[in-house]
Amino acid sequence: MFRSVSIVYPVFNEEKRLKKTFLDIEKFEKSNKFIEKEYIFVNDGSSDQTFSVIKKKFKNNKKVKIINYNKNMGKGYALKRGVHIAKNDWVLTTDADCSVSNFQLTKWINKGYLSQNVSIYFGSRNHRLSIVKKKTARKIVGLLFKILIRFFFKIKISDTQCGFKLYKLNTAKKIFKTITTNDYMHDIEICMIAKKLNLKIIDLPVKWTHINQSKINFVSDFFKVIFSLIKILKLNY
């Protein structure tokens, strides 16, 4: 039985998109009273009003934890900090832009997708049951990236980069304590660590919508991505 979940949001300059995040949390909280929940926001060195907006919204709310630091360290580092203080049976990592709603977790539970024998689930935009709304250019880049990691890392997960991922608490703690990749290539290292630990990862369907103002620019960040992937290869998992 699914009793409790810690939901971790890494946030960087999300001031303009937090309204949607807050609304999703409020609806999810009201609709799933049988699940104990905590929400962990990790402010990854935002230069806008992200931290103050979150702090004001959840003032005196005991279900919400906020981690704040001044220097932008990257999504992988932010998730590592958030998972470290998570306390519930399951840990859900997700994006603050709500490209996938928290209600996707409810659908997974109701469909009976979750098993006590599997401790890691990746939301996959490439799953045959997924409903995906994204631009053609993004689809092409996603396909090329998928081919790249299959060739170099032998990773057969259909979508490593979707931010909506679910872990059993102990598994999340073990993996995020180990990862060294601070940027958004941390997902690849997660897959490599899971493989080393003989932990199975199951792809599950999501309803995913492209949100504008993405923090990732696949053109300008190309060399950063390649550098991160080389570093992960050198870790020799």
Pairing of strands 120-124, 165-168: antiparallel
Q: Distance between CA 91 and CA 2 in Å, rounded?
A: 12
Element (H, E) at 39: strand 36-44
- Tell me, yes or no, if the pTM score tops 0.75: yes
- CA–CA distance from 42 to each of 50, 118, 231 (Å)? 10, 27, 25
What pLDDT digit, counting tens, does each position of 177-215 carry? 999 999 989 999 999 999 999 999 999 999 999 886 555
CB 173 within 8 A of CB 67: no
Contact 208, 131 (CB under 8 A): yes
Sign for the CA dihedral angle at 115, 118, 120, 124 comes to: negative
Closest by CA position to 15, among listed 72, 53, 45: 53
What is the C-alpha separation between 19 and 184, in angstroms, rounded?
A: 24
Task: State pLDDT tens for residues 28-56.
Answer: 999 988 899 999 999 999 999 999 999 99
Each residue's pLDDT tens digit, 59-115: 999 999 999 999 999 999 999 999 999 999 999 999 999 999 999 999 999 999 999
User: By C-alpha distance, which of 38, 47, 40, 60 is closest to 15?
Assistant: 47
Helix (H) or strand (E) holding 9: strand 4-11
Residue 214 CB contacts under 8 Å (≥ 6 apart), including other chains: 97
Paired sense of beta strands 4-11 and 90-93, if any? parallel
pLDDT at 62 (0 to 100): 95
